[in-house]
A and B are shown apart, each in its own frame.
Chain A
Amino acid sequence: MGIYYALIVTAVAILVTMSLAMIRAMAGPTVFDRVLALNMFGTKTVLLICVVCFTIQRTDFLDLALLYSLMNFIGMVALLRFSQFGGFADFEDASQSKSTSTSGGR
């Protein structure tokens, strides 16, 4: 029974960390504050899933934590690529098509 309370306390601590990250993501003056805060939020979500799995004794849900970390990684790569290049299209093509036509195609 002791380990149950330990897991609950861990989950609450993770949730407090998530709230702090969320506040930083809301307030964040620059883009990179937000990126860091949201990346940390995703990591803490993975940890929370693991703790909840052990709390409710369903360790087969741990696969979901794997999927979450994959999604977090893909999302962060997409966000950073977007914030560096301003889009996902190839930029040589994009600049050429923008000079010829502004119809929004790639």
Chain B
Amino acid sequence: MMEFIVIPILALLFATAITVAVIRNLWAAVMFTGIYSFLGASWMLILDAPDVAFTEAAVGAGVSTILMLATLSLVPRSSRKRGSISNSDFETKDPPRRRVISSLLVVIGTGAMLIYGTLDMPLFGSADAAIQTYPAPSFIEKSQTEMGEHGLPNVVTAVLASYRGYDTLGETAVIFTAGIAVLLILRKNKASDEIGAGQSEVTS
């Protein structure tokens, strides 16, 4: 019975994606990307992944919509006027027809190759899949000794503490580096602004 919910959601996702690609109004396209994130998050919820749905809703629908709107307000556009905004402010032109067709061919070819690549994969949840035959038994075997040595209560905790901890360490390093980079960029802009302000007005 869930098909009655899943299939319309997927159809709406499809329609939204087509609309984002086709629509010539950038402001409306930003709104449709937010809608796309909401729909995608709903679908992930139905697939029993609420954590991914949380992230998608917060980042995809919340933050990135606002970021794209902020970008849209900074990029130059043909008629830049304050106050009320009419639809024609964000219209973009259609690309040349030949470019559209060649891009469409490239995208269809890439998609066909990707789908061809999935044909070799084992069925979803099948017992013969590589993940079921090789890593899972070795995880269960090796975590027995770790559970005994370190007094961990179960297999999941043993895997999390012994293996996934390194993943998290790497992720933390990456996020830390990105944060430092962002701070450096922002600080540089602020310093140059202060220099400019000091030249124009002496008193601070």
Binding site for B on A (CB under 8 A): 4-5, 8, 11-12, 15, 18-19, 22, 25-26, 28-31, 34-35, 38, 41-42, 45, 48-49, 52, 55-56, 58, 61, 64, 67-68, 71-72, 74-75, 78-79, 82-89, 91, 104-105
> In the bound complex, how far is the Cα of B16 from the Cα of A19, in angstroms?
10
**The residue from B46, B84, B189, B193 contacting A84, defined by CB atoms under 8 A apart:** B84
A75 to B19, CA, bound (A): 19
Interface membership of chain B positions 157-183, coded 1 if the CB is closer than 8 angstroms to chain A and 0 otherwise: 000000000000000000000000000
A82 with B69: in contact, given A22-B16, A42-B38 (CB under 8 Å)? yes
Q: Take A71-B58, A88-B69 as given contacts and tell me if A83 and B16 are in contact as well, using a CB distance cutoff of 8 Å.
A: no
Residues B69 and A64 in contact, CB atoms below 8 Å apart:
no
From B60-68, B106-114, B119-127, B128-136, the one touching the partner chain is B60-68
Main secondary structure on A side of the interface with B: helix
* Chain A to chain B: the 3 pairs with minimum beta-carbon distance, closest first: A87-B73, A71-B62, A15-B8
Residues of A within 8 A of B73 (CB): 82, 86-89
Complex: how many Å from CA A5 to CA B152? Answer: 45
| Pairs across A and B, CB under 8 Å, 7 listed | A18-B8, A38-B35, A41-B38, A56-B2, A68-B57, A71-B62, A83-B85
